[in-house]
Amino acid sequence: MVKPFVPQLVYFEPRALEYPLGKQLKEKFEKMGLDIRETTSHNQVRDLPGDNDFQKYRNAKSTLVVGIRKTLKFDTSKPSAEYAIPFATGCMGHCHYCYLQTTMGSKPYIRTYVNTDEIFDAAEKYMQERMPETTRFEASCTSDIVGVDHLTHTLKQAIEFFGKSDHGLLRFVTKFAHVDHLLDAEHNGRTRFRFSINDDYVIKYFEPGTSRLNERIEAAVKVAEAGYPLGFIIAPIYLHEGWQEGYGEMLEKLEAALPAFAKKDVTFELIQHRFTKPAKRVIEKNYPMSKLELDESKRKYKWGKYGIGKYVYTDPEQEEMKDKLYGYVNRLFPNAKIEYFT
Ligand code: SF4
């Protein structure tokens, strides 16, 4: 079982202490006896311990930086939401395929932002612009925020903020089962709580440092019982020997565990495994022993933004994946909505 994250090292930006949450976190981490240091900016933590890149990368993933979110311009977040809402960046998990490895480059440490009211004000403006349409915000584009939220409770604040909103909805996804502090949040049904799930093979070989499937399913049951709308992202769908049975068993376990009422309003998002050339280089450096199959010649090339294309499965493989997974979901969860396959 993966224990809730405790950073080995914490950095504070001095300005973070001007905010109530910054002060609270400092006191909390002092009481926990953590190693606390100061950094001028959350973008420039330079003196991380480690003799080489490999060690530095691992130490960074156990380092938490408490800072201020200066950019309050939100990125778009299609297809799952209109905007990405930024409460944290980075993740303590070690999923070999994780896209954060390339997007975070030399800064793989975890950042949490304490100016939450300013972030909520910015969200409010985005909602006003789109009124009377509803605006959806995705809180897990740059991190697995649940993984750090037992320490910060930022996500809990956000759930309650959107719980009171008339025009905004919140969604996020996690591979962590540490959800207990979120169960009594006043969500008013306006947050869709999603879990990222995968079959035993993928979790065993490619998702170290995250909660196991049975723990995620147990957490999903608690979340459903707390009245949250529930969702599951099956990602990355990865072809390996026995994948058909693996994904079938995963969905059967899920179906057996979820209470009947939770299956009435449940969503699924299906995302096949993909990689880019830069991602392949980073994965090979950070996880040199990984079994992850990254052979361009076996994949289909899909042109992408900024000239960086990605390697996805071939068309017949994609058809087979869709066929199998839509088949399982439709049979086991007849009332579920499959939002997309990509
Ligand atoms: Fe990346 Fe999610 Fe794994 Fe964290 S849990 S390393 S964000 S894929």
Mean pLDDT by 10 residues, the chain (342 residues): 95 97 98 95 81 89 96 92 97 95 84 98 98 97 97 98 97 98 98 98 98 98 98 98 98 98 96 95 94 97 86 98 98 97 96
pLDDT for residue 41? 81
What DSSP element (H or E) covers 65? strand 63-67
144 C-beta closer than 6 A to ligand 1: yes
Closest-CA residue to 170 (of 277, 38, 251, 80): 80
Domains of the chain, start order: 9-341 (3.80.30.30)
**Does the beta carbon of 100 lie inside 6 Å of ligand 1?**
yes
Spatial distance between the Cα atoms of 8 and 155, rounded to a whole number of angstroms: 22
Residue 197's pLDDT is 98
pLDDT of residue 26: 98
pLDDT at 305 (0 to 100): 75
| Whole-angstrom distance, CA of residue 64 vs CA of residue 315 | 41
Q: Please report the pLDDT score of residue 126 as a whole number.
A: 98
* Amino acid sitting at position 295: D
Confidence (pLDDT) at 107: 85
| Atom 8 (ligand 1) nearest CA | 98
Which atom of ligand 1 lies at the shortest distance from residue 100's CA?
Answer: 1
What does the alpha-carbon distance between residue 12 and residue 40 come to, in Å, rounded to a whole number? 8
- Any atom of ligand 1 within 6 Å of the Cβ of 210: yes
pLDDT score, position 103: 82
Helix H or strand E encompassing 9: strand 9-12
DSSP code, position 267: E
Q: What is the pairing mode between strands 310-312 and 300-302?
A: antiparallel
pTM: 0.96
Atom 1, ligand 1: residue with shortest CA distance:
98
The pLDDT value given to residue 45: 83
Report the residue among 144, 194, 205, 271 best suited for mutation to probe ligand 1: largest number of ligand atoms under 8 A from its CB.
144
Cis amide linkage into residue 79, ω under 30° from 0 = yes
pLDDT at 244: 98
